[in-house]
Structure 1
Amino acid sequence: MAATSNLSHGRTVIPAALREQLGIKDGDQLIWEIRDGELVVTTRLAQLRRAQATIKRHVPAEVELATELVAERRAEQDREDRR
């Protein structure tokens, strides 16, 4: 655990040890949100990995979403072209 203070203009500093543990580098985007009354800070990369894990749990491994999307768009375009 680490404690910091809220500085002027709402600024705060994430302690170096925590930045190192999370792999936060200068310029990384951080996501700030309130969950259950607490402030939670995550990285864009962590959110991306969480989203990928969610999709992986709900989509069978043999399904290629990008391929399916392209096929659907082509079929849609074919239908439009025939009109």
Structure 2
Amino acid sequence: MSMQRGKLVSGGRLQVPADIRKQLGLTDGDAVVMTVVDGELHVRPARAGLARARQRLRRYVPADMRLSDELIAERRKAAEHE
């Protein structure tokens, strides 16, 4: 784990060093998720949480199944019966 100093700049913005942004794959405008854990600020790319959720759900869904396709099929079937 690398530790570096960042800086709080005007408007409460956090200035993250370039090499940390590079390690996280962050570019200008990317969404991040921030949490406070035991008095510490944890920052991670928003896409990391999405990837983690997908990984957790994948164990319940067969590899050849797309949940979005299943949902669309269910919606179409429901619409036919309206």
TM-score band, normalised by shorter chain = 0.7 to 0.9
**TM-score, normalised via structure 1 length:** 0.74
Q: Distance in 2 between matches of 1:37 and 1:62?
A: 43
Q: Distance in 1 between matches of 2:79 and 2:14?
A: 51
Cross-structure match for 1:21: 23
Q: Which amino acid aligns with 2:77?
A: A
More strand by share: 2
Q: Distance in 2 between matches of 1:47 and 1:66?
A: 19
Partner of 1:6, secondary structure, is strand
* 1:45-74 deviation line (CA, Å, top 9, x unaligned): 222222221221222213221221112111
From 67, 73, 76, give the equivalent of 1:74.
76
Q: Which amino acid aligns with 2:79?
A: Q
Cross-structure match for 2:64: 62
Mapping of 1:42-57 within 5 angstroms?
A: 42-57=44-59
Q: Which runs of 5+ in 1 are unaligned?
A: none
Asked if the contact 2:21–2:27 (Cα under 8 Å) also holds between the matched residues in 1, the reply is yes
Q: Which runs of 5+ in 2 are unaligned?
A: none
The percent of aligned pairs where both chains have the same amino acid is 43
**TM-score, normalised via structure 2 length:** 0.74
Cross-structure match for 2:8: 6
